[in-house]
C-alpha cells in the first residue's frame, strides 16, 4: 500500500490502537519511524518497540503503555504535512501544553524533542506533538 504521508499513518495507527485498547501495534518500518519510536520510549509514552525482520520492509512493533488502564499517550498531532512544511528556528520551537507534552523536531543533528533542541540551540522541521 502506498501512503503519501507515512508519519501521519504511523501516528494514526498508534492513535487507533490506543482507542481500541490494544497491547501493541504493527507498523511498516523505516529509520524515521524507528527514531520516533525511540523518542516515545525515552519519554515514557510507550513501553518498548522492536523491529521484526521479514524479507520485505520489516515491521516495527510498538508496545503501548497503560497506567491503571489509562493510556500514557492522550493525544498525537501531526504538525508538518507534505503540502505545508512547518519549520521553527531555535528561538521559535513550540511548547506543548506548557511543557507537559513534547514536540518532535527533525534537525540537522537528527530527531529530537523540543527540550533537546532548545538545549542544543538548533531548529528544524516540527514533525508532531505528543501529550
Q: What is the pLDDT of residues 12-29, one digit of tens each?
A: 999 999 999 999 999 999
Q: Domain holding 103: CATH number?
A: 3.30.1490.10
Q: Which residues pair with 25 in a beta bridge?
A: 62
Structure confidence at residue 3 (pLDDT)? 79
Structure confidence at residue 96 (pLDDT)? 95
Q: Does residue 104 share a domain with residue 47? A: no
Contact 126, 105 (CB under 8 A): yes
User: Which of 53, 71, 89 marks a domain boundary?
Assistant: 71
Q: What is the mean pLDDT of the chain?
A: 95
Structure confidence at residue 23 (pLDDT)? 97
Q: Does residue 49 share a domain with residue 101? A: no
Q: Which domain holds residue 11?
A: 6-71
Alpha-carbon distance 4 to 76, whole Å? Answer: 19
Q: Is residue 117 in some structural domain?
A: yes
Q: Does residue 85 share a domain with residue 64? A: no
Alpha-carbon distance 108 to 124, whole Å? Answer: 7
pTM: 0.93
Q: Domain holding 19: CATH number?
A: 3.30.1370.30
Q: Is residue 22 in some structural domain?
A: yes
Structure confidence at residue 1 (pLDDT)? 60
Contact 102, 114 (CB under 8 A): yes
Q: Is residue 1 in some structural domain?
A: no
Domain total for the chain?
2
- Low pLDDT (below 70) residues in the chain: 1-2
Q: Does residue 88 share a domain with residue 55? A: no
Amino acid at each position: 500500500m502506498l501512503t503519501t504521508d507515512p508519519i501521519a499513518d504511523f501516528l494514526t495507527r498508534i492513535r487507533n490502537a490506543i482507542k481500541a485498547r490494544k497491547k501493541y501495534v504493527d507498523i511498516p518500518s523505516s529509520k524515521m519511524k524507528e527514531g520516533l519510536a525511540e523518542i516515545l520510549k525515552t519519554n515514557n509514552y510507550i513501553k518498548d518497540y522492536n523491529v521484526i525482520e521479514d524479507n520485505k520492509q520489516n515491521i516495527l512493533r510498538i508496545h503501548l503503555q497503560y497506567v491503571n488502564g489509562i493510556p500514557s499517550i492522550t493525544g498525537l498531532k501531526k504538525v508538518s504535512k507534505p503540502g505545508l512544511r512547518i519549520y521553527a528556528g531555535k528561538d521559535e520551537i513550540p511548547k506543548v501544553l506548557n511543557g507537559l507534552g513534547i514536540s518532535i523536531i527533525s534537525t540537522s543533528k537528527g530527531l529530537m524533542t523540543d527540550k533537546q533542541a532548545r538545549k542544543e540551540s538548533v531548529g528544524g522541521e516540527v514533525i508532531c506533538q505528543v501529550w
